[in-house]
Structure 1
Amino acid sequence: MTRDKSPTERFTVVAIASSAGGIQALSALLGALPPELPVPVLVVQHLDPRHRTVLAEVLDRRTGLHVKLAEAGERVRRGVVYVAPPDRHLLVDAAGVLELTATELVHFVRPSADLLFESVAGAYGTQVIACVLTGSGQDGAMGVRAVKARGGTVIVEDPLTAQFSGMPHSAVDTGAVDFVLPLEEIPAVVRGLVETGRQ
Structure 2
Amino acid sequence: MLEEMAKVNPELMQLKDGKRRNVLHWAAHRGNIDAVRFLSSQFPSSMFEMDNKGFLSIHIASKKGHVKVIKELLKQWPYPEELLNKEGQNILHVAAKSGKNNVVKYILETPTLVKLLNEKDINGNTPLHLAAMHSHPAVVLTLTWEKKTNINLLNNESLTAFDVSPRFSNGGIRAQYV
Q: TM-score, normalised by structure 2?
A: 0.35
Higher relative contact order (Cα pairs below 8 Å, separated by 6+ residues) = 1
Q: TM-score w.r.t. structure 1 length?
A: 0.32
- Which has a greater percent of strand? 1
More helix by share: 2
